Structure 1
Amino acid sequence: MTTTEDRACCLIFSHAVGSETTGPYPVTAAVPDAVCLAHFLAGLPDPRDRCGRRFPLTAIVTAAAASVLTSARSLTAIAEWITDAPRWVLLTLGFAFDPFSKVVTVPHPTTVMRLLGRLDGDAFDAAVSTFPQTRAAGLDAEKARWRAVAVNGKQLRGSRAAGGKAVWLLAAMDHAGTVLAQRQIDTKSNETPAFIPLLDGLALENTVVTADAAHTQHANGLWLREQGAHYIAVVKGNHPSLLKQSRKLPWAVALDHKGRTEGRGRLEACHLKTAAFRHLDRPGARQTLRVMRRRKDLTSNKLTTERLYFVTSLPPDAASGAGIAAWIRGHWKIENRLHHVRDTTFAEDASTICVGRLPRVIASLRKLTISVCRQDGRTDVPAATRHHARHPGRPLATLGWT
């Protein structure tokens, strides 16, 4: 039986073959209103001189995205994928057909490396972040009342930025696994000043933002409330007075949520209590949360207890205790579903791509791969990349040529 994916690949093939004698294949001819990555790359600034633009920018960048979708880890692997791609795939991507030599010319690996290394990092991140967001809007049948977004940073350990420091990227990911934005941290700064610029421009209404203690700042909370968003902020030792006030609240209140999980060799019980207040110095804060975690190591039988405090701008009737507990626990999905996957599936920390803007650009292509795979219901990202590698039409269909 012919699947929808196979029919899409055949449609791409028939259009590409029919256009070989006339020039590059019109990438949006099959479905004009498709959410296609090439549309979002069309406005990307081209860093090359006009006289040196032999290959279309969108063709090279989209080919690089398709190769990473098939598990390419290095610049060499990206260039090899472009060189080995079938002619109809290259025509679909926008590479030119030479009617005299009867071949589709492709860029040299050095050309691919130089172009990717000169791209505007902010513009490229914006393009590859907007694509999965637009794609997700078409996939979602229903909108939940609240959307949860986690903010967290990661160092690319094998890279080197100015001053010899590793490239540090701050990312925002919804708890469903779609990366919404990414921003490079200045080498002379830290994550805190990049919080607002990272989220600026996103639709934040009815969004609950979770972040670690470094982002529990007055300015961040005030800005989020101005955007119509709510926050759940961790209170730790970097805010001693707020932590002291939180500990002194009357916690002899009823339990709002009780959860129990088992995994990774340990058993964990989690208790959540909430206390409404009006006197803490935090912009828009309405509740304080206390989470008590009791863990038992199943190997050593060692017991540990941890108390964590949070402040949130959510009013008491906005969400249930189970919902708040899920958001607090779901914040760490950005570590498990994004940072850990980039390290294990793409060996990011061991990567030798370390010069200029290349680490950031390749990291953006990896997060794009992770986002679209999860949107398609493929939670096993390594298996998803192997799936795309088995047929050259599959990455094209995922990136919009359907």
Structure 2
Amino acid sequence: MPDPRARRGIRHPWTALLTAAAAAVLAGAASITAIGEWVADAPQRVLALLGFRPDPLTGLIRPPHATTIRLVLAAADGDALDRAIGHFLQERKTPASGRKIIAVDGKTLRGSRTAKHPAVALIAAMTHSGQVLAQRQIDGKSNEIPAFAPLLDSIDLTGAVITADALHTQHDHATYLHKRGAHYLAVVKRNHPALHESVRRLPWRDVRLDHYERGRAHHRDEIRRLKTATFAHLDYPHARQALQVVRWRRDLGTGKLTIERIYLVTSLPPGAATGSELATWDPRPLAHREPAAPRP
């Protein structure tokens, strides 16, 4: 991480300040004030481990003031910090057997909304086990779509499968992933009416069942059935298969039954993944999300 401060008057190392802020957040600090208080109360041995230098005369470490931390965090390049952390995590990750599955999703930074500024929105790429590989802040005047390719530029996508919600079912995204040597599993909704209608009208009744799953969670019984269909042509770049996922949910309290049909397309060729694997990679796994839950 480059240090943007002028050399004159520097008292604390740049990396120590950033590391201290990160440690404070991991310890539960949710504001600049709380970060400053955590650093001020940190024992001398902790400050030394964070990288702060002791006074040459007294041998004691004087913690930075909360104002110093606030100015440092305001001056830090958020995207550069995300890239640095992403590279660090990719170097540390344990090589996994099988195909690499990466989920792209947006989120709102908790506690970032103020009276004068909207909440900070982020887009992240993470493994399905929850390990974040890259993250970027979304332009307040835009949305996640333009940030998709820049987010993934720093990640080796060769042979990976990228999953995302329907917002990222974009022709440009599919073309980008193909050029990077990756595959996609894209949700198709009615915001792409022609594509949705083409997939919906496939002869699903005649397609054999590839996966069946039943479970109980969140006070409801759930059943999920998955079918895959191969087609010769579909108006979506490099698409090779379509998927239909049907979910039955019965509320254990009210007895109400709901049925939801979801359609997806993937660039994976037939036989490249089993029905169970595709169900595992589904961006909306069984018992994890409500049918129409708004993003936090």
What is the alpha-carbon distance in structure 1 between the residues aligned to residue 77 and residue 30 of structure 2? 21
Q: Which of 87, 107, 112 is the matching residue for 2:64?
A: 107
How many residue pairs match? The answer is 290
Q: How does 1:239-388 map to 2 (within 5 A)?
A: 239-251=192-204, 252-328=206-282
What is the alpha-carbon distance in structure 2 between the residues aligned to residue 180 and residue 335 of structure 1? 22
Given that 1:235 and 1:243 are in contact with CA atoms closer than 8 Å, whether structure 2 keeps it comes out as yes
Q: Which of 17, 21, 34 is the matching residue for 1:77?
A: 34
Q: Secondary structure at the match of 1:104?
A: coil
What is the alpha-carbon distance in structure 2 between the residues aligned to residue 269 and residue 92 of structure 1? 51
Q: 1:126 to 1:45 in 2, by over 3 A?
A: same
2:9 aligns with 52
Given that 2:113 and 2:120 are in contact with CA atoms closer than 8 Å, whether structure 1 keeps it comes out as yes
Q: Which of 173, 182, 191 is the matching residue for 1:238?
A: 191
What is the alpha-carbon distance in structure 2 between the residues aligned to residue 199 and residue 46 of structure 1? 25
Residue 204 of structure 1, CA deviation: 0.6
Q: 1:331 to 1:259 in 2, by over 3 A?
A: closer
Q: 1:74 to 1:332 in 2, by over 3 A?
A: farther
1:182 aligns with 135
Q: How does 1:91-102 map to 2 (within 5 A)?
A: 91-102=48-59
2:168 aligns with 215
What is the alpha-carbon distance in structure 2 between the residues aligned to residue 49 and residue 160 of structure 1? 30
Q: How does 1:28-177 map to 2 (within 5 A)?
A: 44-136=1-93, 140=94, 142-156=95-109, 158-160=111-113, 164-177=117-130
Residue 109 of structure 1, CA deviation: 1.0
2:293 aligns with none
Higher share of residues assigned strand: 2
* C-alpha RMSD of matched pairs (Å): 2.3
Higher relative contact order, chain-length normalized (CA < 8 Å, sep 6+): 1
| Normalised TM-score (structure 1) | 0.68
Counterpart AA for 2:123: L
Given that 1:272 and 1:321 are in contact with CA atoms closer than 8 Å, whether structure 2 keeps it comes out as yes
What is the alpha-carbon distance in structure 1 between the residues aligned to residue 32 and residue 88 of structure 2? 23
Counterpart AA for 2:78: G
Are 2:144 and 1:191 equivalent residues in the alignment?
A: yes
Counterpart AA for 2:29: A
What is the alpha-carbon distance in structure 1 between the residues aligned to residue 261 and residue 288 of structure 2? 22
What is the alpha-carbon distance in structure 2 between the residues aligned to residue 330 and residue 88 of structure 1? 45
Higher share of residues assigned helix: 1
| Normalised TM-score (structure 2) | 0.91
Residue 334 of structure 1, CA deviation: 10
Q: 1:212 to 1:297 in 2, by over 3 A?
A: same
Q: Secondary structure at the match of 1:125?
A: helix
Q: Secondary structure at the match of 1:50?
A: coil
Given that 1:175 and 1:330 are in contact with CA atoms closer than 8 Å, whether structure 2 keeps it comes out as no
Counterpart AA for 1:231: Y
Residue 330 of structure 1, CA deviation: 6.1
What is the alpha-carbon distance in structure 1 between the residues aligned to residue 264 and residue 183 of structure 2? 13
What is the alpha-carbon distance in structure 1 between the residues aligned to residue 24 and residue 286 of structure 2? 28
What is the alpha-carbon distance in structure 1 between the residues aligned to residue 144 and residue 57 of structure 2? 54
What is the alpha-carbon distance in structure 2 between the residues aligned to residue 109 and residue 245 of structure 1? 58
What is the alpha-carbon distance in structure 2 between the residues aligned to residue 96 and residue 160 of structure 1? 34
Given that 1:75 and 1:113 are in contact with CA atoms closer than 8 Å, whether structure 2 keeps it comes out as yes
Given that 1:168 and 1:185 are in contact with CA atoms closer than 8 Å, whether structure 2 keeps it comes out as yes
Q: Secondary structure at the match of 2:163?
A: strand
Q: 1:217 to 1:75 in 2, by over 3 A?
A: same
Identity of aligned residues (%): 53
Q: 1:333 to 1:197 in 2, by over 3 A?
A: farther
Residue 329 of structure 1, CA deviation: 5.1
What is the alpha-carbon distance in structure 2 between the residues aligned to residue 208 and residue 179 of structure 1? 15
What is the alpha-carbon distance in structure 1 between the residues aligned to residue 35 and residue 140 of structure 2? 28
Unaligned runs of 5+ in 1: 1-43, 337-348, 350-402
Q: 1:143 to 1:159 in 2, by over 3 A?
A: closer
Given that 1:287 and 1:316 are in contact with CA atoms closer than 8 Å, whether structure 2 keeps it comes out as yes
What is the alpha-carbon distance in structure 1 between the residues aligned to residue 42 and residue 286 of structure 2? 38
Residue 167 of structure 1, CA deviation: 1.9
Superposed CA deviations along residues 33-81 of structure 1, whole A, max 9, x for unmatched, are xxxxxxxxxxx12121111321100011111222222222222232222
Q: Which of 192, 202, 225 is the matching residue for 2:155?
A: 202
